[in-house]
């Protein structure tokens, strides 16, 4: 008991991050290694409730819901990670440009931030995905283009604070270019914000991907994505087949909550007033 109490926030964050990374890796590897034989049509085993042979039950076509859920989560995680990484990269680039390239660039980027924040994420995402024809490409691009504004403001404020530091002022007096200062002084200090932003944006990206797919404007119906599984199961809930939506939805929420928890802990560690708790 005393050992548990002596673990500080930094150590707990390392433990939670390790467990979450192992969970992510297990889902990704499991989605690739699991055989497709359990998700092919087999009417002999259709509509089976959860049991030892099928822990998540089977659907109206006899497909194993545990296999479909793991494969769907692996697809959603890949889409979420790609979209979150792209969105964080956009935020870092625009934040640096706004803070270092003069008042005109700052005004334009601030106007873009206000414009994107004035429109709900999901509405903008649906519009972009629809224009691009849906599919994984449309969803990833839509997610990347709709989740950067809030983080861009944080990055911009952080860069302005870094610019006032003594080592940056010394580089300016030595005649170093803006590009040199951005690459050698600003970017290294933004790595924590990049990682925290990645973990914080990922839950939003994966949930919005599931929502868009659920509405029929996301991934292809032939892919076992979580949004597709939930959308298809809605037609069968009234018949008592509750497991079709319960287990996939629960697994999605657990994955999202795990990454959200890691993001909150990493953000608290980057706060100087709370980093040593």
**Higher per-residue pLDDT: 197 or 70:** 70
Q: What is the pTM of this model?
A: 0.79
Residue 85 structure tokens:
């990484």
Q: For residue range 92-146, what is the model confidence (pLDDT) as tens digits?
A: 888 888 887 778 888 999 899 888 888 887 888 888 888 887 788 888 888 888 8
Q: Is residue 258 part of a domain?
A: yes
Q: Is residue 162 part of a domain?
A: yes
Q: Is residue 17 part of a domain?
A: yes
Q: Is residue 248 part of a domain?
A: yes
Longest dimension (CA), the chain: 78
pLDDT surpassing 80 at residue 265: no
SS3 (DSSP) at 64:
strand
Q: Is residue 247 part of a domain?
A: yes
Structural domain of residue 122, as residue ranges?
2-34+62-270
Dist. CA 167–CA 158, nearest whole Å: 15
Q: What percent of the chain has pLDDT over 90?
A: 2
Q: For residue range 195-247, what is the model confidence (pLDDT) as tens digits?
A: 878 878 888 888 888 888 887 777 777 777 888 888 888 888 888 888 888 88
Q: What percent of the chain has pLDDT over 70?
A: 93
Contact 46, 54 (CB under 8 A): no
**Higher per-residue pLDDT: 1 or 173:** 173
- Count CB neighbours of 41 within 10 A: 12
Angle at CA of residue 168, ends 162 and 172, nearest 5° = 135
Dist. CA 15–CA 171, nearest whole Å: 39
Q: What is the pLDDT of residue 270?
A: 62
* CATH, residue 230: 1.10.3720.10
Phi/psi at 58 (nearest 5 deg)?
-130, 165
Q: Is residue 57 part of a domain?
A: no
Dist. CA 84–CA 168, nearest whole Å: 30
Residue 237 structure tokens:
């809930």
pLDDT surpassing 60 at residue 4: no
Q: What is the pLDDT of residue 1?
A: 44
Q: For residue range 112-122, what is the model confidence (pLDDT) as tens digits?
A: 988 888 888 78
Dist. CA 75–CA 84, nearest whole Å: 14
Average pLDDT, the chain: 81
Domains contained in the chain, number: 1
Residue 133 structure tokens:
């024809």
Q: For residue range 170-180, what is the model confidence (pLDDT) as tens digits?
A: 877 887 777 78
Q: Is residue 55 part of a domain?
A: no
Q: What is the pLDDT of residue 3?
A: 47
pLDDT surpassing 70 at residue 7: no
Q: Is residue 254 part of a domain?
A: yes
Dist. CA 266–CA 88, nearest whole Å: 15
Signed CA dihedral, 251, 257, 261, 264: sign only: positive
* Burial tier of 65 (Cβ tally within 10 Å: 0-12, 13-18, 19+): buried
């Amino acid at each position: 008991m005393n050992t548990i109490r002596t673990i500080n926030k930094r150590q707990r964050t390392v433990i939670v991050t390790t467990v979450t990374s192992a969970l992510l890796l297990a889902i990704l590897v499991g989605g690739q290694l699991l055989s497709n034989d359990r998700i092919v049509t087999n009417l002999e085993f259709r509509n089976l409730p959860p049991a030892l042979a099928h822990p998540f039950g089977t659907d109206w076509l006899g497909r194993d819901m545990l296999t479909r859920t793991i494969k769907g989560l692996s697809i959603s995680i890949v889409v979420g990670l790609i979209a979150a990484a792209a969105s964080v990269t956009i935020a870092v680039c625009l934040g640096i440009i706004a803070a270092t390239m003069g008042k005109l660039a700052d005004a334009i980027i601030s106007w873009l931030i206000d414009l994107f924040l004035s429109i709900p994420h999901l509405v903008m995402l649906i519009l972009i995905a629809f224009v691009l024809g849906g599919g994984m490409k449309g969803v990833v691009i839509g997610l990347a283009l709709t989740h950067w504004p809030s983080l861009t403001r944080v990055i911009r404020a952080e860069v302005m604070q870094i610019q006032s530091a003594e080592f940056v002022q010394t580089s300016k007096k030595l005649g170093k270019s803006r590009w040199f200062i951005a690459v050698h002084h600003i970017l290294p200090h933004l790595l924590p914000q990049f990682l925290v932003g990645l973990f914080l944006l990922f839950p939003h990206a994966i949930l919005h991907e599931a929502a868009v797919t659920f509405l029929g404007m996301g991934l292809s119906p032939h892919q076992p994505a979580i949004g597709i599984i939930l959308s298809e199961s809605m037609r069968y809930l009234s018949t008592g087949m509750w497991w079709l939506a319960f287990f996939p939805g629960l697994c999605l929420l657990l994955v999202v909550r795990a990454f959200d928890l890691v993001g909150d802990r990493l953000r608290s560690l980057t706060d100087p007033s709370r980093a040593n708790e």
